[in-house]
Structure 1
Amino acid sequence: MGDGPGDAALASWLELSASALRHNVDVFRSLGGGDGTPRPVGVVLKGNAYGHGLAQVLPLVHGQVDILYFIAPQDALKVREYERAQGLAPRQVVVLGGVSPREAVALAREGVDVVVADRGWVDALPVLREAGLERALRVHVHIDTGLGREGFTLARLPDDVDFLAEARDVLEVVGVLSHFSNTEDVTEQGYALAQVDAFETGVGLLRQRLGAERPLQRHIAASAAALVLPRARYETQRVGISLYGLWPSPETRLSARLVLGEVPVLKPVLSWRCRSQAVKWLPSGSYVGYGCTYRTSEPTRIAVLPVGYYDGYPRLVSGKAHVLVNGRRCPVLGRVMMNHVIIDVTRATSDDGPVTATLLGRDGEESISAEALAGWAQTLHYELVTRLGAHLKRVVVE
């Protein structure tokens, strides 16, 4: 596997495949809308691009996709800084999370869209007006269709959005959105389809209340719905976890086969590798790691990896996980520590020289998926990748 990325040879690092990312964007661009026509593709770069690294992912997707979605306003503003530095035409950028009135002013000046999900925005109107904006802040109205999180409920929608009709000088309604509750958890999408019905009802109410003259950009489909609910693709998709080559769930994969006739190929973007800190023999009967939870039953060549739960390698995989060395599976011995993991490399190497371990990704004919590692940790792959340490070196490869 080589010696790793330069000065990170004695630490762990993440490799991001540019070709895999392009492939995944193409998968969603090929889906089109419910009527078979092409649809713009929006991608979600929240959570440090799902742990993959915003600084590394943004340049890879900026020219390939149509819309960039974020939770944090400061991340959205980084896009404008990047575009100016590179001399690029601005992409549509949407902040899905909450923003303060002062942040709203900054976003309006940068031409970044925001989401209006409650009447708290009434308090922002004086601040926006006092700012003397050259253009109104572009907003998307969030309708709660059954998730029970943000958004205006259908019962309250007509009354609660009245302030938008009176704030056209500073708020320009350009879109409307919602979010599904359980498309990933089931293969039967009755509840999701009821949400689609509610969404379309809400869009109609919003249009009636605001007297909207031009089409609104509608978006409700995240990765799972984009794959299995063609009706929900509307004007654009919000592709999150699957941009990075990860299926939302096994149920989504099964549903995709039923809906599309075949399972699209999603290519994992991220690999996690680590150069060993030490390799040595331990006699039979030796204890390994804290708590004496593992004892060798035979002479064992171990490798000490300078990675641990501080870096995002879950402690709950202790004694269950494997890593790959020279294309062979090597079990994790004993407890995962804050900064160290000990593995059995007896059958993977014939000397005590340093080795490179693959914690996530492929090595030869073997691979360890984010889903597998998350399963050992009794969690979701969403949580696993988003908790990868921001301090880890991220390297883009083809």
Structure 2
Amino acid sequence: MQSPLRTRAWIDVRAPALRRNFRRVAEAMGPDPWVLPMVKADAYGLGAPEVVRVLRAEGPAGWGVATVEEGVALRQGGASEPIVVFTPALPADFERVAAHDLEVAVSDPRLLDRLSAVGRACGRPVGVHLEVDTGMGRAGVRPEQLDALAGALRPLRESDGLRWVGMFTHLHSADEAGGPGVGAQLEGLRSAARALEPPPSVRVHAANSAGAFRLGAEAGGARPGIFLYGGRVGPDQPEPEAVVAVRARVVRVVDAAPGATLGYGATHRADGPERWATLAIGYGDGLPRVLGNRGEALIAGRRVPIIGRVSMDVTVVNISGVPGVEAGNAATLVGRDGGEELLLDEVAEAAGTISYEILTGLAPRLPRIWTEAE
């Protein structure tokens, strides 16, 4: 791991905060929680292997990923816990699913026979989570389709090539004030479970991060994502601890004369004498270009405006009135510096997006520096 002292820009990741956010979700789920952290998209950009290492001692039910490739990488990296692939897998991937002992979400029961045949051929039954579409619309079986698909669903109970592990839905608005539709979606999942009567060993799970706090044990199980990594999950929901800080070095400080222009398109012009600091971070590192002339950074515990357009590799801030700034100092684009803090969701709002996109957009060339410091 590179030392921050020799790094142009980097991400600090606080392992204790990640663990505490996990514990808060687990506590919300009651005395016997089933919590499966989502580590898709390289754990929302923070590094799935490190997140698995940090959270393993917390007793997760397994790990959630989006793709077979992500699941294979986790398994090859030493993860022994259950790994669930939540995006519907293609038939061409079934052999890899079985070979690497992955569990899969199934939206089309007509594929169960093919999946079962692969499990038998591999000598290892494939774990299946049946997805029920209660309103998200992008995947799953609608409850009213269950009778018509009864024959296609039979392998869940009868095939020795499958293990029926779970049954779930995805909440579409649990992160909105009041959680509109959450109750109806949960009832839709329950009605599907009543119709199918899965064995007691089948885990029925419904909660994302926001759903965990709205529903608790009613949801059956939780698949938290953004809350673990420090993103808010609703205006009436608990605040997560900040996990991530994005920092960059000052590489140049200059006094700008009145009328001096800055950046592509010369979108900033100095109204009077100004002092500018160039930061070694840009949209090539995942800093949203839209933050030009509207975002902020922290230097020496002070908020300073981003001026001009964000470039691919550098960004400039106005440090007029902030004494002592020089090349080599660290600036903060997300996170805390002294008594000031730029929250992840605050930066996302300034960029006109959501915290998920900020985190997953952070580029690989930013080293992730994991720390046990509080």
TM-score, with normalisation over the residues of structure 1? 0.87
Which of 186, 189, 198 is residue 188 of structure 2 equivalent to? 198
CA distance in 2, matches of 1:294, 1:372: 23
Deviations for 1:162-212, whole angstroms, at most 9, x for unmatched residues? 2232461222212100011211123154x21011111100011122xxxx4
CA distance in 2, matches of 1:339, 1:152: 46
Superposition map of 1:6-155 within 5 A:
6=3, 9-33=6-30, 37-64=31-58, 65-83=60-78, 90-122=80-112, 124-125=114-115, 128=118, 132-155=121-144
Q: Indicate the residue corresponding to 2:204 in structure 1.
A: 218
Q: Indicate the residue corresponding to 1:295 in structure 2.
A: 269
Q: CA RMSD in A?
A: 2.1
CA distance in 2, matches of 1:374, 1:187: 22
Tell me if the contact between 1:118 and 1:160 (Cα under 8 Å) persists in the aligned partners. no
CA distance in 2, matches of 1:249, 1:379: 15
SS of residue in 2 equivalent to 1:159? coil
CA distance in 2, matches of 1:6, 1:231: 43
Which of 349, 353, 371 is residue 379 of structure 1 equivalent to? 353
CA distance in 2, matches of 1:5, 1:164: 51
Q: Please state how far the C-alpha of 1:267 moved relative to its aligned partner.
A: 0.8
SS of residue in 2 equivalent to 1:79? helix
AA in 1 matched with 2:284:
Y
Tell me if the contact between 1:9 and 1:275 (Cα under 8 Å) persists in the aligned partners. no
Greater CA deviation, 134-143 or 157-166? Answer: 157-166
Deviations for 1:275-323, whole angstroms, at most 9, x for unmatched residues? 1221221122211111111111222221111211121111111111110
Are the structure 2 counterparts of residues 205 and 266 from structure 1 closer, same or farther at C-alpha, using a change threshold of 3 Å?
Answer: same
Deviations for 1:196-249, whole angstroms, at most 9, x for unmatched residues? 111100011122xxxx44331111100011011235431x21011101122123
CA distance in 1, matches of 2:199, 2:283: 53
Q: Indicate the residue corresponding to 2:171 in structure 1.
A: 180
Tell me if the contact between 2:116 and 2:125 (Cα under 8 Å) persists in the aligned partners. no
Superposition map of 1:155-166 within 5 A:
155-166=144-155
Tell me if the contact between 1:274 and 1:357 (Cα under 8 Å) persists in the aligned partners. yes
Q: Which runs of 5+ in 1 are unaligned?
A: 85-89, 257-262
The answer as to 2:215 corresponding to 1:229 is yes
Tell me if the contact between 1:152 and 1:160 (Cα under 8 Å) persists in the aligned partners. no
Tell me if the contact between 1:279 and 1:354 (Cα under 8 Å) persists in the aligned partners. no
Greater CA deviation, 49-58 or 145-154? Answer: 49-58
Are the structure 2 counterparts of residues 225 and 243 from structure 1 closer, same or farther at C-alpha, using a change threshold of 3 Å?
Answer: same
Tell me if the contact between 2:66 and 2:85 (Cα under 8 Å) persists in the aligned partners. yes
Superposition map of 1:281-360 within 5 A:
281-350=255-324, 352-360=326-334
Q: Please state how far the C-alpha of 1:160 moved relative to its aligned partner.
A: 2.0
CA distance in 2, matches of 1:281, 1:47: 42
Q: Please state how far the C-alpha of 1:330 moved relative to its aligned partner.
A: 1.3
Are the structure 2 counterparts of residues 343 and 120 from structure 1 closer, same or farther at C-alpha, using a change threshold of 3 Å?
Answer: farther
AA in 2 matched with 1:267:
E
Are the structure 2 counterparts of residues 44 and 230 from structure 1 closer, same or farther at C-alpha, using a change threshold of 3 Å?
Answer: same
CA distance in 2, matches of 1:42, 1:365: 35
TM-score, with normalisation over the residues of structure 2? 0.92
SS of residue in 2 equivalent to 1:266? coil
Q: Indicate the residue corresponding to 1:389 in structure 2.
A: 363
Q: Please state how far the C-alpha of 1:128 moved relative to its aligned partner.
A: 0.9
CA distance in 1, matches of 2:340, 2:146: 53
Alignment coverage as a number of residue pairs: 369
Q: Please state how far the C-alpha of 1:77 moved relative to its aligned partner.
A: 1.8
Tell me if the contact between 1:158 and 1:206 (Cα under 8 Å) persists in the aligned partners. no
Q: Indicate the residue corresponding to 1:361 in structure 2.
A: 335
SS of residue in 1 equivalent to 2:122? coil
**Residue identity (%):** 28
Are the structure 2 counterparts of residues 161 and 392 from structure 1 closer, same or farther at C-alpha, using a change threshold of 3 Å?
Answer: farther
AA in 2 matched with 1:156:
Q
Q: Please state how far the C-alpha of 1:354 moved relative to its aligned partner.
A: 2.8
CA distance in 2, matches of 1:188, 1:81: 38
